[in-house]
Amino acid sequence: MIRSRIRTSFVLLAPILLLAVLLSGITARGDEAPTVTVSVSGLTEPLRANVLASLSLVRQGDDPRLSDVLVERLFARAEKEIKEALQPFGYYSPVVNARLDRRDKGWQADFAVVPGRPVLITLLDVSLSGAGRDDPALLKALRDFPLHAGQVLDHRQYEAGKRKLTSAALSAGYRDVSFSRHSLEINPERYNARVFLVLETGPRYVFGPTTFTADFLHQNFLKRLLPYREGEPFSPGAVVELRQSLLNMDYFSEVEVQVEEPLPESVKIPVAVTLRPKNPNRYGFGLGYGTDTGMRGSVEWTNRLLNRRGHQFTLHWQPSERKSSFGGVYTVPVRDPRKDRLTLLAKWEREDFATTETEQRTVTLSFDHVRENGEYSLFLSLLDQDYDTGLDSGRGTFLTPGIKTTWRLADDRLRTSRGIRLTADLTGADQNILADATFLQAVVAGKAILAFSEKWRVLGRFQLGGTLVDEILDLPPLLRLYAGGDQSVRGYAYKSIAPEDARGNVLGGRYLTTFSIELERELFADWSGAVFYDSGAAYDSFSDLTMKQGAGVGVRWNAPFGQVRLDLANALSKGGNSWRIHFSVGADL
């Protein structure tokens, strides 16, 4: 009886076990998901890109859970997805020819698309309602709406136009802005559409009083930090600008800007600003090396909050092998403290270069103004310098007014892909007003950077200078012109290119001309290599102009604080094996 039951059970279980084995084999063979290759033809960009981004076959093509059944299901959706992907561009009647073929280890899906006739705008009705219906800024935004009657209905431009209208209204003070009507009436059969937009502006809000919680600075000083005035149209952008400008200043460790709700029946929006001070004392210590200065160190102390009027004071000492200095700067914020300041500088400096030794005392009073794309300074300096250039030695004292200005335009000052910088200095003196000689001097310089591919960029710079003076040796070396060094003509020592006396001592020149061209290629990560060619001269007359040439190779490291540059340059004009290493650090522009 028992054997009979066992035999009967085996007969019943055998088919089930056989089916399980077969299924396990199928599952094992199906562990490897099929691949899907998708091809879309007949469309131009950006239509094709949007179609590919919309296809479920593309989005799920790398899913390890993909199966043949799922591929066929996704393929069935494709025609609908393609038609929907073309609608934002104005194509509502495309013809799609689809084909799905089985390959050795996957599937090939081909879609030949004819976009068809686009839908055109037959009526565009965009209007304003409310207090801002006659606002010039909003009327201009209305005129600049990107769609017009007769154009293809492009949903992207439609949405962009709505955003620009809303942004213009918010910037003009209309906080309650909304679209009371926004509709697209599309008739795909007749290939036309009607657009209706009504922007309801609501009341126009203005800035109310701005209160500062910061007892460490005078309220009058704080009010001058505002980028707006009470009663001007309220703008969220101005609030962001206020917060960012306060964070950029050297006074505050924390900045909190709170836009409060207006009182009932009022359009004045109060703003509350809470500020916390930084530690008044800041100390800095540094140790470095530059081929123009040799080994150098630096010690700096700054009191960034001398008083409640925002005055600051800095002491700086920089000893080095060839150029040492010690001095202080007293800074007084004026007008708009974010951009304008008066500075009083007093500095002692000693410099040894080529065959020249100098020691100078300088006192300078300047007005400095920072602009969006640069800055300028008006200054008056009292210069007193003792010097020895070999056969020529003496002392010069000059009261020199002048102006310095810089203009720059760059996508990124530290790591520039496209940018330009121009600087100009103009200074002079009159022998009858605290000066040993009369002169006028101008120096113009420029630098441009262009990345012409992902890894390559070209850099160029120039410098031109000229001095009107009876005799250049009537001026101390501080006011003469020189070439050579890291930022001039590489391959030559700092300030070593200039007219010389009978013993070869470098005297300095009346005119200056330099230029450089450099080709840089990214190697890996933040490192790049460069080849360069420099040329320049300092001279007393154009008949004496003889340009010195230098060329070489370099390595660059793009550090967070700027580019670190190490160059090996050859002084071509000297002939022979005359090589020099140059090391410098700084922003691109």
- Residue 545: CB partners within 8 Å, gap ≥ 6? 511, 513, 537, 539
Mean pLDDT of 471-485: 95
Of 237-241, 245-249, 351-355, the least confident: 351-355
Outline which parts of the chain fall under CATH 2.40.160.50: 395-586
**Integer Cα distance of 566 and 574 in angstroms:** 22
Those residues whose C-beta lies under 8 Å from the C-beta of residue 383, and which sit 6 or more positions away, are: 360, 361, 362, 396, 397, 398, 399, 400, 476, 478, 479
Sign of the alpha-carbon torsion through 317, 352, 531, 529: negative
Q: How does 550-565 read in b/e, with b if 16+ C-beta sit within 10 Å?
A: bbbebebeeeeebbbb
Instruction: Say what percent of the chain tops pLDDT 90.
Output: 80
Residue 209 pLDDT:
95
Q: Is the pLDDT confidence value at 23 over 70?
A: no
pLDDT for residue 19 is more than 60: no
Show the tokens assigned to 451. Answer: 């990345």
* 547 close to 515: Cβ distance less than 8 angstroms: no
Collapsed DSSP state (helix, strand, coil) of residue 329: strand
Describe the crossing of helices 155-171 and 236-248 by its angle, rounded to 10 degrees: 70
Per-residue pLDDT at 507: 92
- 161 pLDDT above the threshold of 80: yes
| pLDDT at 401 > cutoff 90 | yes
The position carrying tokens 């700096």 is 300
Distances (CA, A) of 491 to 136, 268, 508, 578: 60, 65, 18, 8
pLDDT at 24 over 50: no
Q: Which residue has the tokens 């004819």?
A: 114
Enter the DSSP assignment of 506.
B
pLDDT at position 6: 36
Inform me whether the pLDDT recorded for 138 exceeds 60.
yes
Tell me phi and psi for residue 74, to 5 degrees. Answer: -65, -35
Backbone angles phi, psi at 541, to 5 degrees: -150, 155
Report the percent of the chain where pLDDT is more than 70.
95
Q: What angle do CA 441, 488, 407 make, to 5 degrees?
A: 60
CA 223 to chain centre: 29
Quick one: pLDDT band at residue 66, thresholds 50, 70, 90?
A: confident
Instruction: Assess whether pLDDT exceeds 50 at residue 407.
Output: yes
Is there a contact between 112 and 97 (Cβ–Cβ < 8 Å)? yes
Per CATH, the homologous superfamily of domain 206-277 is: membrane protein fhac (3.10.20.310)
* CATH fold group of domain 35-114: Ubiquitin-like (UB roll) (3.10.20)
Q: Which tokens is 271 given?
A: 């703003």
Q: Please write the tens of the pLDDT for every residue from 319-361.
A: 998 889 999 999 999 999 999 999 999 999 999 887 889 999 9
Mean pLDDT of 163-180: 94
What is the per-residue pLDDT for 18?
41
Q: What is the pLDDT of residue 32?
A: 66
pLDDT digits (tens, 9 = 90+) for 525-545: 899 999 999 999 999 999 989
Which H or E run contains 180? strand 178-187
Give CA–CA dist 88/140, Å, rounded: 26
Task: Write down the pLDDT at residue 290.
Answer: 77
pLDDT at position 366: 98
| Class of CATH domain 395-586 | mainly beta
Q: Is the pLDDT at 46 greater than 90, yes or no?
A: yes
Which 3-state string (H, E, C) describes 122-172?
EEEEEEEECCCCCCHHHHHHHHCCCCCCCCECCHHHHHHHHHHHHHHHHHC
Mean pLDDT of the chain, nearest integer: 91
**CA 582, 586, 587 angle in degrees (round to 5)?**
135
Kindly state the average pLDDT of the residues 16-45. 63
Closest CA to 254 of 279, 282, 276, 281: 276
Q: Is 491 exposed, middle or buried (0-12, 13-18, 19+ CB in 10 A)?
A: buried
Per-residue pLDDT of 196-216, as tens digits, reads 999 999 999 999 999 999 999
**Do residues 508 and 538 touch, judged by C-beta distance below 8 A?**
yes
- Domain 120-200, CATH among 3.40.50.970, 3.10.20.310, 3.90.1150.10, 3.30.420.40: 3.10.20.310
Task: Give just the sign of the alpha carbon dihedral 287, 289, 290, 293.
Answer: positive
**CATH 3.10.20.310 location in the chain:** 35-114, 120-200, 206-277
Q: Is the dihedral of CA 487, 490, 492, 497 positive or negative?
A: negative
- The predicted pLDDT at position 497 comes to 95
pLDDT value, residue 31: 54
Q: pTM of the entire structure?
A: 0.75
